[in-house]
Amino acid sequence: MTFSERYLAEVTEVTRKTNPNVLEATVDLLATIRDRGGRLFILGVGGSAANASHAVNDFRKLCGFEAYAPTDNVSELTARTNDEGWETTFSAWLKGSRLRPEDGVMVLSVGGGDRELNVSPNLVAALEFTRKTGAAIIGIVGRDGGYTARVANVCVIVPTVNPDRITPLTEAFQAVFWHLFVSHPRLQQVGTKW
């Protein structure tokens, strides 16, 4: 079997092992957030930050959400990192955005954050703040989902089918799942061009 054949087999296995009920529950929560006039804040680090930016576009353009990603403003992100430290970059940004109980915070992450291991501590701090405000938490994460999976209202965990490819498969399936959400008839308001 070639590498390409193995990789595609793993993609098929992730798809087969994903629970569609969790995806539908995510759609339900997203619809609730939008219907109550809430905003959607999408957080990610590294490749997941790029996914967050793309997802913001899709939720805004196709589904009528007011949506934002803090990593889209590199000037503010780096100023906060320089002046206040990495850990509070997202929580301070959410405070400045006046996060409300009607809003939702979606985390795209491979590990989901873990303060003890010093992995994405800014995600952990952001979710702690989100919980205090009463806003909804949604996750699309890999492995066991870390802190995000423990505190989210609903969390899609990308099944681990090969421990050597957790990161590429998780980041790839973040895109698969948010595209499912923005294409879902319950959420999509504007059709795509193609």
Domain spans, the chain: 3-183
pTM: 0.96
For 18-47, write each residue's pLDDT tens digit: 999 999 999 999 999 999 999 999 999 999
Three-state SS string over 73-130 comes to: CHHHHHHHHHHHCHHHHHHHHHHHCCCCCCCEEEEEECCCCECCCCECHHHHHHHHHH
CATH number of 3-183: 3.40.50.10490
Residues 6 or more apart whose Cβ sits within 8 Å of residue 106: 40, 41, 42, 43, 52, 55, 137, 138, 139, 140
> Coil, strand, or helix at residue 155?
strand
For 114-151, write each residue's pLDDT tens digit: 999 989 999 999 999 999 999 999 999 998 889 999 99
C-alpha–C-alpha distance, residues 107 and 94, integer Å: 13
